[in-house]
Amino acid sequence: MTGHVVVFAPAPLLTVTIEQQADAVELHLHAGGQGVWQARMIAALGVPATLCVTVGGEVGDVLRVLLADENVQVRAVARQAGSGWSVHDRRDGSRTEIAEHPGEPMVRHDIDELYSITLAEGLRAPVSVLSGPAAPEVVDPDVYRRLAADLRANGGQVVADLSGPYLAAVLDGGVTFVKVSHEELIDDGRAKDDSVDELVAAAHQLRRDGAGAVLVSRADAPALALLDDDVTEVRVPPLQVVDHRGAGDSMSAGVAAVLARGGDLEQAVRTGAAAGAVNVTRHGLGTGRAETIGELIGRVRLAPLGEG
């Protein structure tokens, strides 16, 4: 793959996970958060990724070290307040939250510096991904509106995997591709329930509101893709699930990776679906071998709604 993707991840997290493997207890420390997972998958697909972040406090010091080990370029702003973190226990096979903190709200200086860095990187890249913070109080949604508008006005493609006020903001700014889950559409009041009719209507409304194309993930059910005027089902071969978290982020990462190398929307959706499917077979979020994803892409089918 060729191309280059910039990932806007204003508030990455330090993730601490306790695992049980046979008779041994393991402690895993990783850089995490939506943007980190997306950048990790983009790089796994062979596309160079630049991650634009802020880090601060003792947690931020650890994050700097962990981010340096990722296979991505990192542009980091030293923020005035501390970075966020999460601690989970997976010793019994399920994920139990012990404690978490999304990070302190970003102040004006943090936002100005990160915005400038992201804009510079985004103007040099064909595709930018806008990822959300762990909590809405961390960064003002209007930052997303401005960034989407500025990148689009200068010829860039913008991929967004957002919900709530952040989704509304990028729609207002204009966005090339929106990935959103059916739960998020319901929570945002954009769909009354998870019926196909409601989700299809919501996807069409997203197009009218400013999205060029829309992908609605539906947990275990086939995703719905609105690429032109018609909605298709994205059918992926079933795989055993180890951890469902991160599947949606891997989907949007796969879409961005294909668009960055000049691929079309159908190939982008197939790749995103394959990346998301492979991710759920692994413990690590935003991970997967390119060869496995490549083998699965050919098995992903875009089928007209209602086709058996």
pLDDT tens by residue, 132-148: 998 889 999 999 999 99
Residues for the chain: how many in total?
308
The reported pTM is 0.92
| pLDDT range class, residue 12, cuts 50, 70, 90 | very high
pLDDT over 90 at 231, yes or no:
yes
pLDDT over 50 at 1, yes or no:
no
> What is the four-CA torsion angle of 146, 48, 62, 104, rounded to 10 degrees?
10
In terms of pLDDT, which residue wins out, 80 or 203? 203
What's the rounded mean pLDDT across residues 248-257?
93
Q: What is the DSSP string of 180-191?
A: EEHHHHHHTTS-
Q: Does residue 207 sit in helix, strand or coil?
A: helix
Q: Are 76 and 54 in contact (CB under 8 A)?
A: yes
pLDDT over 90 at 160, yes or no:
yes
The crossing angle, in degrees rounded to 10, of helices 265-279 and 247-260 is 150
pLDDT over 70 at 284, yes or no:
no
In terms of pLDDT, which residue wins out, 236 or 308? 236
**Within 10 A of 189 (CB to CB), how many other CB atoms are there?**
8
| Helix (H), strand (E), coil (C) string for 65-104 | HHHHCCCCEEEEEECCCCEEEEEEECCCCCCEEEEEEEEC
Compute CA distances 284 → 65, 112, 118, whole Å. Answer: 18, 32, 26
Q: Does residue 23 sit in helix, strand or coil?
A: coil
pLDDT over 60 at 44, yes or no:
yes
In terms of pLDDT, which residue wins out, 228 or 186? 186
Say how far residue 283 (Cα) sits from the centre of its chain: 17
Count CA within 13 A, CB hemisphere, residue 35.
29
Which pLDDT score is estimated for 265?
A: 96
The strand pairing partners of 179, in sequence order, are 215
Alpha-carbon span 224 to 66, nearest angstrom: 35
Instruction: Give the helix ranges, DSSP H, for the chain.
Output: 34-44, 57-68, 108-124, 142-153, 164-173, 182-187, 196-209, 247-260, 265-279, 290-297
Compute CA distances 70 → 49, 73, 173, 195, whole Å. Answer: 10, 8, 30, 39
